[in-house]
Amino acid sequence: MPLGFRFDNSYARLPERFFEPCLPTPVAAPRLVRVNAALADTLGLDAAALAGPEGVAVLAGNRVPEGAAPIALAYAGHQFGQFVPRLGDGRAVLLGEVVGRDGLRRDIQLKGSGPTPFSRRGDGRAALGPVLREYLVSEAMAALGLPTTRALAAVTTGEVVQREEARPGGVLTRVAASHLRVGTFQFFAAQGDVEGVRTLADYAIARHYPELAGAEHPYRALLEAVVARQADLVARWLLIGFVHGVMNTDNTAISGETIDFGPCAFMEAYDPGTVFSSIDYAGRYSYGNQPRVAQWNLARLAETLLPLLAAEEEPAVAMAQEVLAGFGPRFEAAYGGGLARKIGLGTAREGDGPLVQDLLRRMAENGADFTLLFRSLGDAAMEPEAAGARALFADPAAFDGWAEGWRRRLAEEPGGAEASRAAMLRVNPAVIPRNHLVEAAIDAAVERQDFTSFEALLDALSRPFDHRPGLERFTLPAKPEERVLQTFCGT
Ligand code: AMP
Ligand code: MG
């Protein structure tokens, strides 16, 4: 049965130093966990065939589909601020690119597919747990409407990987607008390879920002475009309570998609200092630091582009600084506007910013669950008792003190309370991948080969804005004994 891949591998046509040809390493006994049928369809693939023996062989790396040109991509990156000149795909291969039914070009990558020339001391493999985590969280992000890489499939390998202990292995088939990273630019810039940077910039423009090709200054325009997409992306992370966890420059995509779901997690009680990653000792990548880090990462991108911005260093630096200064206003507009919509304000008025900041301060002081509180505001707009919202505050009077001014402001919105309620329910999700649910689904799969929790959670996450009777447990915060305080890269 043909799987339907019609590859057109533009990255593999770039100069040789951009990648290393590299085949996936076959695994002992591949078994399918899941194929994402809707995504397969968008990509023009046959989901049923992918779930069959030939398809699973491809998804496990045991068979290379016709037309693929498997490569491991070269990149560098700042990891927790430390520059590493050669990282690259150490546990992934890009099979190739396909143009979907929607006309969009996407990478098809196998993650956990065995050693590559970039593996250093790693085994090139992925444990099943992190594979399932990336599957759940990336698909949740997509359903929430955020730019993100996707999960096309997950398989188990029938082999174990040795981490702190032996774990079952898995392979994720990841789909991305591309795998160009800030670190890809750094790879060439660090070697003084200006032609490499230029080739990459031209490729990035052609692939992600074709409208800029005719700009007066295409490289400046590229930097502006990436700054804008990253500012919007991080604003959207904050608006749903997402903590990426490892915002290294090699995990910052030029496309503006969320990429590399490692120790990522969702905040429960609102606290800007929230950190989950076990290795983020200093809180560099905490929830509230994410805008600052994104800007720092973009400054690293700008540095690589300096030779393309102007012939002399001084005007090049001035231009880069000017573009980078655009991050703040762009982020503030996206974040501020988004917060206003979360409290039902579609029009902008003086005083809206302080109103929402006052709410956030009270939430932080009272341990209010971020997701549930905003979700409860829809009902609170209709019911003066606002029992749902009040109950989320350690001191319910803290909500009352805020709600009085909010109700007055809400009354100025066109359409009345019913329209405000509907608007809030459209932007404030009920279901997010809560950490205890993600952990429980992974545990059942890894410890007992039981994927029912994984499937049920994935289904709940696929419609995050719907209230579906019977699925309340997916909306609730962890009980104290269920709380997950730390997450791990698990690579
Ligand atoms: P990440 O944690 O996904 O951002 O990965 C950082 C770097 O470490 C990348 O260059 C990866 O390819 C590499 N890496 C992570 N895990 C492994 C592994 N198990 N084997 C080889 N390389 C790895
Ligand atoms: Mg990475």
Residue for token digits 């698990």? 490
Mean pLDDT in consecutive groups of 10 residues from the start of the chain, 491 residues: 94 98 98 98 98 98 98 98 98 98 98 98 97 98 98 98 95 98 99 98 98 97 98 98 98 98 96 94 95 98 98 98 98 98 95 98 98 97 96 98 97 93 97 97 97 98 94 93 82 60
Residue 83 CA to ligand 1 centre (angstroms): 15
Query: SS3 sequence, 163-189?
Result: CCCEEEEEEEEEEECCCCEHHHHHHHH
pLDDT computed for residue 467 by the predictor:
86
Protein residues whose CB sits closer than 6 Å to any atom of ligand 1:
87-91, 118-119, 122-125, 250-251, 260, 262, 489, 491
CA distances from 1 to 27, 47, 54, 62 (A): 22, 11, 8, 17
Report which protein residue has its CA nearest ligand 1's atom 22: 90
Distance CA(305)–CA(182), nearest Å, equals 11
Say if CB 302 and CB 320 are below 8 A apart. Answer: yes
Output the CA 260–ligand 2 centroid distance in Å: 5
- Measured by CA distance, the residue closest to atom 7 of ligand 1 is 87
Q: Please identify, by atom number, the ligand 1 atom nearest to the C-alpha of residue 75.
A: 10
Please name which of 260, 270, 259 lies closest in space to residue 230, comparing C-alpha atoms: 259
- From the candidates 250, 260, 280, 369, give the one annotated as an active-site residue: 250
Counting ligands in written order, which one lies closest to the CA of residue 163? 1
The Cα 419–Cα 425 span in angstroms is 10
Distance 184 CA to ligand 2 centre (A): 11
> How far is the C-alpha of 228 from the C-alpha of 298, rounded, in Å?
10
CA of 181, nearest ligand number: 2
Kindly give the interhelix angle for 218-240 and 313-324, rounded to the nearest 10 degrees: 30
Cα(28)–Cα(87) distance, rounded to whole angstroms? 27
**Cα 67 to middle of ligand 1, angstroms:** 26
Measure 364 CA to ligand 2 centroid, in angstroms: 31
Tokens of 267: 């905040």
Among 82, 84, 108, 102, CA closest to 12: 108
Which atom, in ligand 1's list, is nearest to the CA of 121? 21
Nearest CA to ligand 1 atom 3: 260
Q: How far apart are CA 365 and CA 340, in angstroms?
A: 20
Atom of ligand 1 nearest to the CA of 88: 10
* Residue type at position 76: A
Query: How confident is the model at residue 59, as a pLDDT?
Result: 98
Query: Which long-range contacts does 395-400 make (Cβ < 8 Å, 24+ apart)?
Result: 395/366, 398/362, 398/365, 398/366, 399/362, 399/366
For residues 317 and 302, what is the distance between their CA atoms, to the nearest angstrom? 9
Atom of ligand 1 nearest to the CA of 112: 19
Write out the residues surrounding ion ligand 2, Cβ under 5 A.
251, 260
3-state per-residue secondary structure call for the chain: CCCCCCECCCHHHCCHHHEEECCCCCCCCCEEEEECHHHHHHCCCCHHHHHCHHHHHHHHCCCCCCCCCCEEECCCEEECCEEECCCCCCCEEEEEEEECCCCCEEEEEEECECCCCCCCCCCCEEEHHHHHHHHHHHHHHHHCCCCECEEEEEEEEEEEEECCCEEEEEEEEEEECCCCEHHHHHHHHCCCCHHHHHHHHHHHHHHHCHHHCCCCCHHHHHHHHHHHHHHHHHHHHHHHCEECCCCCHHHCECCCCECCCCCCEECCECCCCCCCECCCCCCCCCHHHHHHHHHHHHHHHHHHHHHHHCCCHHHHHHHHHHHHCCHHHHHHHHHHHHHHHHCCCCCCCCCHHHHHHHHHHHHHHHCCEHHHHHHHHHHHHHCCCCHHHHCCCCCHHHHHHHHHHHHHHHCCCCCHHHHHHHHHHHHCCCCCCCHHHHHHHHHHHHHHCCCHHHHHHHHHHCCCCCCCCCCHHHCCCCCHHHCCCCECCCC
The torsion angle over the Cα atoms of residues 89, 92, 94 and 98, rounded to 10 degrees, is -130
> How open is the CA angle 131-132-138, to the nearest 5 degrees?
90
- Interatomic CA distance for residues 231 and 247, integer angstroms: 14
Question: Which atom in ligand 1 lies closest to the alpha carbon of residue 89?
Answer: 12
User: What Rg value do the Cα atoms of the chain yield, rounded?
Assistant: 23
443 included as an active-site residue: no
Nearest CA, atom 10, ligand 1: 87
Minimum-distance ligand to the CA of 115? 1
| Probe target for ligand 1 pocket from 87, 91, 187, with the most ligand atoms within 8 Å of CB | 91
Q: 80: CA distance to ligand 2 center in Å? A: 12
